[in-house]
Each structure stands twice: as structure tokens, then as C-alpha cells.
Amino acid sequence: MATSETAQPQLLLVEDNRAQALMMQRMLEEGGLEGEVVHVGTLAAAKEHLATSRVSCVLLDLTLPDAARLDGLAEIRNVAPEAPVVVVTADNDAGRGIKAVQSGAQDYLMKGQMDSAQLSRAIHFAIERAHSEQQLARRALHDALTGLPNRVLFLDRLTYALARSERQGSSTGIFFLDLDGFKGVNDRLGHLAGDELLRAIAGRLLAEVRPGDTVSRFGGDEFTVLVPEVTGAEEARSLAERLTEAVRTAVTVAGEEISLTPSIGCVLGESRDRPEELLDRADRAMYAAKRHPDTNYELSPQG
């Protein structure tokens, strides 16, 4: 079984008919498709391979012994949502192929009506189409300046974290940060310098969180941090202090050392809470923190 890192592009051929699989492999060779072809005969074997390997495309037969109709496609999409899929249907079964495309496949071909050029072209276009779709999806869910998740993706991850919090027996931490004095820097040094400062601070915040946490640029000079598992108020305060120090560390921009202090609003959420209401509470706590000269963060009471 291949590992998740492959030296060359890999195509996964899922076909239970050995003769049909050999014929398609010959077509792929004739079509000049580069890369390794891995053949499996069942949906179960395909899922096992996809769990440990990254493939450039899946060529999927819709008549497998352990998958009925479009169930196989649904399972493949669930295990490897980013892998492009070209489905192969029985002779004259165009209707099922169209339904497969409507269900997430990039293309379909009919057995007995395809040649090597058509097969290779379908796979090539499927890979390119999937790449374009992924790029569009990324742009829709990430901030163009910093590359961080935007508020749409942040809310989606917050919703998921709250759903899990009841099973985990812990709270979900939300931290709302605003950069005090950023407007003055932007006005004095210009927007390019301001953008450079925002990118630097985004990197600092990312360095302070765990792999499962989320740092988001919420808009302007506002950032949000999602920590799915927080044991209580003391841990939340400790993280707020770490985030503060990360932001305060001087950044050299346009030949000048700049140090800003964030105002941070913190809130601990439970599964019963609504994501938008938690963000609103964190936002209000952030503005309350701005009024405290002795500390730069405010922990909103639960409930």
C-alpha cells in the first residue's frame, strides 16, 4: 500500500472486473497519462487506500460488489473529498453518469464507448477542474491578505467545536482581538506597511496556538482565535496573556520598529450556545477591555 507521500501522480482505478481493469490500464498507457496506476476491486479496498494515500484522481466503476448505484461515489467523496472522481458506467447508462456528476463526480464515461484519448482527457480535465474548484473554495473561505480563515470559515469551525464540546466535557474558547493604535500606523506609514504588519501579527498568533485551534482575520485589524478545548477561566486568561505578548513583540515595518497592544475579549462557550451570540459577547468583552488601563483583556461571564 502506498503512503500519503508519492513520488509521482497516482491514479486509483476502482473496478471489480479484472479484464475491464486491464483494458483501461492499457488505454491509460496508450493515452500517455503519466503516473502510477493502483488497481483495487472493491469499495472497501478503495477506502482503505484513500485513508493512507493521496491520489491525483479516482477512476470509479459504479457497479461494485460492495456498493449499490451511487453509494460508492458518496463513500469516496466522504473519505477523500478533494480527490477528483471520474465515474465509469455500464453501456448506454448515461443517466446514471449524469446523476454521478450532479453528486460530485467531475466527469463520466461509458464502457464500450470510450477510447484511450477520451479516457486520458477526462482524467486530465477532472484534475484541472477539481484544482480550480478547490482554489475558488479556498478564496471564498480565507482572507486574501493573511491567508487565515475568514469569518465564514471561523463560524463554521466554531459551530462544529460547540457540537463536540458536550462530548469532550470542556468549554470552547473564543478570543476577539483588536489592535490598539493600528490606525495611526496605517495613517503614518501607509497601507502597504499596515498590510505587512497585519501579516506579521497573523504569523505571531498562529505560532501561539495548537494545530487544532483556528486563528481568523475577522476584518480590518480584528482577529479571532478559536480554542476547541479550554478547561476553564484560568486557562483562558493564560492564553490571552500569551496572545498579548505575541502581538506586543516589536515588528520592523518600513524601517521602523512597531509594537502594538491588543485588546482581547474572551468568552467560554458550551454546546447550548449560539455561535453568533458568543462572538457578540466576545466583541463586547473586547470593547470592555479597552476601558481597563490595568489589563488588556476581559473574560465575559458564562451564560
Q: Which of 222, 210, 232 is nearest to 175 (CA)?
A: 222
Amino acid at 121: R
> Contact, 204 vs 259, CB < 8 A?
no
Q: Is 294 a catalytic residue?
A: no
Q: Which of 221, 273, 283, 294 is catalytic?
A: 221
Question: How far apart (Å, rounded) are the C-alpha atoms in residues 54 and 80?
Answer: 9
Quote the CA–CA distance of 79 and 48 in Å, as a whole number: 9
State the catalytic residues: 221
